[in-house]
């Protein structure tokens, strides 16, 4: 699959479905984050990623930090999600200067990853993006294969522009 090809579904979800709600601990904010708390207020980009401290993830996640003002201009909250422990994510975020919420799907291992159908065959999260609109519906899905490819933020901004 080309890096620019988006999907309309995963093994569990499709575009138009209500995004499954969750609450996960954040490594970068003091309180846990609940997806439904953004409903009616902000679009959400869920950025699932395989591992903190890996090369591609260490390029991908700071790219969202660099574009936070643009995401804010589209009333959009970025949430990074991996199966790494909260403490590992906190150290990595500090090293990279990431301030948006990085969420730990560590315990029970991969519960949200499985809800969204993005568990890689090797056990970790796929590199996957979901755009969720202000009504809590999935507007766009993109699973990046091979996992070594870094996503392009311009695709996200195009989707967000269409949401208005």
57 tagged catalytic: yes
Say which residue the tokens 């970068």 belong to.
28
DSSP 59-115: HHHHHHHHTHHHHHHTTEEEEEEESS-HHHHHHHHHHHT--S-EEE-TTTTTHHHHH
As beta bridge partners, residue 44 has: 77, 132
- Catalytically annotated residue among 27, 45, 52, 57: 57
User: What is the 8-class DSSP label of residue 2?
Assistant: -
C-beta atoms surrounding 87 within 10 Å? 11
Catalytic residue positions, numbered: 57
């Amino acid at each position: 699959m080309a890096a620019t090809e988006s999907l309309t579904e995963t093994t569990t979800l499709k575009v138009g479905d209500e995004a499954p709600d969750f609450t996960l601990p954040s490594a970068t904010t003091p309180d846990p984050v609940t997806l439904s708390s953004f409903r009616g207020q902000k679009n959400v980009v869920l950025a699932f990623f395989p591992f903190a401290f890996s090369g591609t993830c260490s390029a991908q996640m700071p790219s969202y930090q660099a574009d936070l003002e643009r995401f804010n201009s589209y009333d959009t909250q970025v949430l990074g999600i991996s199966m790494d422990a909260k403490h590992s994510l906190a150290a990595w975020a500090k090293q990279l200067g990431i301030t948006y919420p990085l969420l730990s799907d560590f315990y029970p291992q991969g519960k949200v990853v499985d809800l969204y159908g993005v568990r890689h065959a090797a056990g970790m999260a796929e590199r996957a993006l979901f755009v969720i609109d202000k009504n809590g519906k999935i507007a766009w899905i993109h699973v990046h294969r091979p996992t070594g490819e870094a996503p392009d933020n311009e695709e996200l901004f195009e989707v967000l522009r269409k949401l208005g």
